Amino acid sequence: MKDIEIKNRIEKLKDEISRLRFAYHVENDPNVTDDVYESLTRELKNLEEKYPEFADINSGVNRVAGEPLPKFSKVTHDSRMLSLNDAFSKDEVLEWKKRISKLINKKYSYFAELKMDGLAVSLIYQDGVFVRGATRGDGWIGEDITENLKMINTIPLKLNGNFPGTFEVRGEAVMPKRALAGINKIRIENGEISFANTRNAAAGSLRQLDPQIVKDRHLDFFAWDLAQYDDMDIKTHSEKHGILKKMGFTLAPYDKKSDTLEEIFNFIDEVEKVRPNLPYGTDGIVITVDQNELQEVIGVVGKAPRYSVAFKYPAEKSTTTVLDITVNVGRTGVLTPLAHFTPTLVAGSTVSKATLHNMDQIERLDIRIGDTVVIQKAGDVIPEVVEVLVGMRTGKEKKFKMPESCPVCNAGVEKRDTSENQSSSRKSIIESRKSPRRDGLAERGREGDPRTSMRGAFPAEDKRTSVAFYCTNKNCPAKNQRAMQHFVNAYEIYEIGPKILDRLKEEGLISDAADLFALEKADLSGLERFGEKSADNIISSIESHKKVELWRFIYALGILHVGEQTSHDIADHFETLEKIQKASLEEINNIENIGPAVSESIYNYFTHTENIHFIEKLFANGVTIYKQKTNSKKLSGMT
């Protein structure tokens, strides 16, 4: 064939394959059999390889994985990627409606769509070509995973149609259930730990530095928002979905637009019937006010849009037997009981333990060692004990009692009233008659502060309780270790895990998190099992995290009751660390969403000499705080 004929043939093949892909992935209406489609793609691939001068890297048929990356670089989102508030019943959805109805006096409609269970990502297109993809991260700053996302066949490398300018598409990278089953089979055969669910598998795959791994795992992508669009007048969220479909994106298989919540509730019920048989993991229905102009009026609170809510289906439940109840010591010294039970399958993953939060929870449910209990996953994620089957008791069950001494250091345990309406803590000391033990650490687990999130690296906002027990030893090894773990997680220094922290402390290189920023390559390269490359990676990661936003700096300090969102609230209000340090208790208490107990905790932290010295040590070792983006910027997108 002549060059012009070859070029024309390639163009024809590209157009036809693009049309067939659109019909298959977007319209769910395949026009030809798989073997016909594969024959066309094979011909195009062969022609592009034989005549590279006519090849188009965005044709999609030659998605070749590049070399593994040394690390992911950080990217800043143009508008914050938001999270969603959950509603665990239809009554809670009705309460959401009441709240937003007070903010607007115009008629509005709803748009409901399936909430896919995966990893939220952002895709940037310039003049129709995919140029960058990133994770959600903390909402403002994510990681550049462009090369990995190019390996997902349902992410168009070039948009269908003519779309000049810049567009940002947000959606969910997911792993099909069938693919998960196959991958886990291979992992088990290789002696590796299997993925707990499709969400973990998708997130774990995209965190790989080798794009070939992503390609081999056959992820998919479902678009749910058009966050940036040049020169287009788009009035509704449902209209965005129509445009996304025209662009060539796959949308969630079920959605519903309606003027009434009654119809939305019917839609929720219909989806619930088919949900178990869907090829992908799902964790609810997202309900959104459809009109974009009203979304602007309703606005955002914290990191969640008020104009949307995520309805979560009732969690799948299972029964099991409580084998033991142990105690973890958290970074603030709080003692958190942890139930261990016979491994059981719940919502697609095997569960063998769950936090019981505090003694109030244990007494309310009357949980005993040996009990048969009902467990579920809150929001399909966090395992929790919801009921004791009292009728199954044999009389051999044992009541749990909180230890009178710290299980790690044997120091006295302090009982505190931590009710939110208490302006000061009432305390009673249980002094231990034993000498402090130094021969080992308690079993490692998630931070004990009374509740943590299993969904991400950061602990969730602390769950308020009326009574909590605390280790009184400020030098308790468990408190110190958990505080350092929390610090590196908050800073997202992923190269430093618990084992490395243990090793650095054992070698006398660090005594607290501030010492990390004084480490040099020579300190590590001489240690056994620390190669030069490993030392380089750790030091490089530490150096790259010396400059930090104010909210993250506050969060990393591990202040009692201060989680990620509260840290944002404090930073947004005061804007500088100096203002926070000088703030009165009354000034802190006047911040929206912060109550008396939290205010007192913040005030006490910044007036404590030991904490002041720790902050000074951070600055002396090179840590700096830079001005953060504020919430006044346009916010968009949700997960």
Question: What positions carry a catalytic annotation?
Answer: 115
Sign of CA dihedral 140, 143, 147, 150: negative
Give me the residue label for tokens 């928002």. 225
Tallying the residues shown for the chain, one arrives at 639
> Looking up tokens 């607290």, which residue turns up?
512
Residue with tokens 């010591």: 329
What are the DSSP calls for 482-519, one per residue?
HHHHHHHHHTT-TT--HHHHHHHHHTTS-SSGGGGGG-
**Cα–Cα distance list, 617 to 4, 123, 480, 623 (Å):** 69, 40, 16, 9
Considering only CA atoms, which of 136, 130, 137 is closest in space to residue 170? 136
103, 306 in Cβ contact below 8 A? yes
Residue 302 phi/psi, 5-degree rounding, is 65, -120
What end-to-end distance do the CA atoms of the chain give, in Å? 51
436 class by beta-carbon count within 10 Å (0-12 exposed, 13-18 middle, 19+ buried): middle
Distance of alpha carbon 370 from alpha carbon 117, whole angstroms: 34
Angle at which helices 90-101 and 261-274 pack, to 10 degrees?
150
DSSP3 helix / strand / coil % (the chain, rounded to 5): 35, 25, 40
DSSP 192: P
CA proximity to 340, closest of 361, 358, 326, 357: 326
Question: Which of 441, 430, 431, 435 has its CA nearest to residue 407?
Answer: 441
Question: What CA–CA distance (Å, rounded) separates 468 from 563?
Answer: 18
- 553 class by beta-carbon count within 10 Å (0-12 exposed, 13-18 middle, 19+ buried): buried
